[in-house]
Structure 1
Amino acid sequence: MAFEPPQRLVRALGEATRDAATDDWLHRLPELAEEAVARHELTVERVQVPGGRSSLVVLVRTREGTPAVLKLVPPRSRPDSERAALAHWGGMGAAKLLDAGDGALLIERLQRDVSVRSLPEAKSMLEAAGTLRRLWVAPPAGHRFETVAERTGRQAEAMASCGDADARPLVAAALAARDELLGSVPSEGGALLLHGTFRQSKVLAGERVPWLAVGPDPVVGEAAFDLARLVRDRVEDLIASPSGAAIARRRVKRLAESLDVDPERLRGWALFRAVESGVRALRVGREQDAELLLEFAGWV
């Protein structure tokens, strides 16, 4: 079958700063998919559409008939890092890695149409937080994962060049919060393996256990950094609510308490990550997303 990249993936890669390696990967993607299918002796069912924004996802069956997912990831999205994290978790809290090679990951298949986001909000937050707790483990010895300081350092450089006058005060506050957070040490859990891009839609229903995480962009650092992305989940609903600001602040408090995280550190990282995402949305012309994210940032 033809393995043409879904338009959602093409658009997302087009929004990012393009490089020769990404262009070459996108051009060769059908060939790379065929090679991976042959190498793992897979039977293809279909390409997942609309699929992800950073990978090609193909629903397959192994030679034993086991349902699985073949995921092809461009070099810029660090497939080796995702492979190492999934292997280290070993199916505890995350989908199980079945095999990997040359930027292609063969992963346990979950119910991609059923995420914890389908649950009522209180229940979804509880299940998502429980999944996240299982992922927070010590990284393997001699690991090569990116650190929170390294990742946010690159992001901070991009944020500092933001030319939007309305966003500048929030950018300044976010950068100051990052400096303060990195200048102090959390009381515990300061060097954990984190999911990196955790949110409700990344927690899918499984058969081994009810809920498992997918799609990590792993990083090593404090738990509050990971939890900060969950704080703004369903941001469009928060913005639409007359009491959205109060709900957001209560969410910070409750999530911090439920996962034994310092609420002020969680608030600081929630601010930084919301502003970083808002500025990035501005940069690629997603003005509505940017407006939501920056309004949320002003609340926390």
Structure 2
Amino acid sequence: MRLPPALRDEWRREPAWLAELPRLAAECAELWGLELEEPFDTPRSLVVPAGEVVLKLNAPSHFEADHEAGALLCWDGRGAARLVARDDERRAMLIERCRPGECLWDTNEDERAVVAELLPRLRREPDTLHPFRSLADEAERWLEEVPRRYRLSGEPFERSLLDFAVDVFGGLDRRAAALVNQDLHGGNVLRAEREPWLVIDPKPLVGEREVDGVGLLRNAALEGGTASVQRWLDVLQELGLDRERLRAWGVAHALAWGWDEERGWSPRSVEAARTILAA
């Protein structure tokens, strides 16, 4: 199997997993009776179409995707691609294939209008025995990691931005129990036939509902500046989310996800945090 160059580059620090991928894909094909086609050119996971389904394999260290299958199962095809089968040992899943499969960003559709229709349908509060990682646990990790990275890298941006994020991590609502998606944006919404649009690639947590907005605000900040962020805040507020918590989590999460072990701080992520804070 030909692995996409972008995938090889993204996971170059995990050569053992890359070497295992052809075998894992072949085992999944035998297990589920698939005729695999050429992989999609995606960097974060191996994604291989097979007729009316898609085989997806996630890297072992990609822990944000640990419970992707669980989120799809919880949504049960309502506003999101349907989970067909899973093999947690291989970190593999079969997902409904979205046809024609264009991502929302590649169309002329109004992203805000499409997401405003989808987001209320994705709202869930899992029972207490759910498998998902909690926002509270993640915030505790970020509360230690983000300031440490800031110090080790020589304080590369204004201290006020860090302090704002630290206050958000430390002041979250621990009673909140919504299933939320840290990576909802137009690149992860595909045109489909069963429903007009379906969400893919969730990075689920359980916690404050406003975390559903972090991917939308991050990308709005990078592509359209404060005016675009403000328009998204207007839309999400109309859906019942708290404007200030949306803004707060937008800033804090941009920094939480703004670090690369090889490259250090992402200038784009830091700039996104600044822009959201100013909105």
TM normalised by structure 2 equals 0.87
Q: Secondary structure at the match of 1:75?
A: coil
How many residue pairs get aligned? The number is 272
Which residue is equivalent to 1:175? 166
| One-letter code aligned to 1:87 | L
Q: CA deviation at 1:212?
A: 0.6
Listed as ranges, the matches of 1:1-300 within 5 Å are: 2=1, 4-14=2-12, 22-49=14-41, 51-53=42-44, 55-61=45-51, 67-78=52-63, 81-101=67-87, 102-111=90-99, 113-120=101-108, 123-161=110-148, 162=150, 163-169=153-159, 170-182=161-173, 190-238=176-224, 244-252=225-233, 254-278=234-258, 280=259, 284-285=263-264, 287-290=266-269, 292-300=271-279
Distance 2:177 2:163 in 1: 26
CA RMSD, Structure 1 to Structure 2 (Å): 2.5
Structure 1 residues 246 and 97, CA gap change in structure 2 (3 angstroms):
closer
Q: CA deviation at 1:134?
A: 1.4
Structure 1 residues 143 and 282, CA gap change in structure 2 (3 angstroms):
closer
Structure 1 residues 45 and 97, CA gap change in structure 2 (3 angstroms):
same
Q: Secondary structure at the match of 2:93?
A: strand
Distance 2:265 2:8 in 1: 16
Q: CA deviation at 1:154?
A: 2.0
Stretches of structure 2 lacking an aligned partner (at least 5 in a row): none
| One-letter code aligned to 1:270 | G
Distance 2:219 2:238 in 1: 16
Q: CA deviation at 1:99?
A: 1.1
Structure 1 residues 225 and 258, CA gap change in structure 2 (3 angstroms):
same
Which residue is equivalent to 1:241? none
Runs of 4+ displaced beyond 4 Å: 285-288
Q: CA deviation at 1:88?
A: 1.7
Instruction: Work out whether residues 247 and 277 of structure 2, in 8 Å CA contact, stay in contact via their aligned partners in 1.
Output: no
Q: Secondary structure at the match of 2:102?
A: strand
Q: CA deviation at 1:166?
A: 3.8
TM normalised by structure 1 equals 0.81
Structure 1 residues 267 and 287, CA gap change in structure 2 (3 angstroms):
closer
Distance 1:85 1:155 in 2: 22
Stretches of structure 1 lacking an aligned partner (at least 5 in a row): 62-66, 239-243
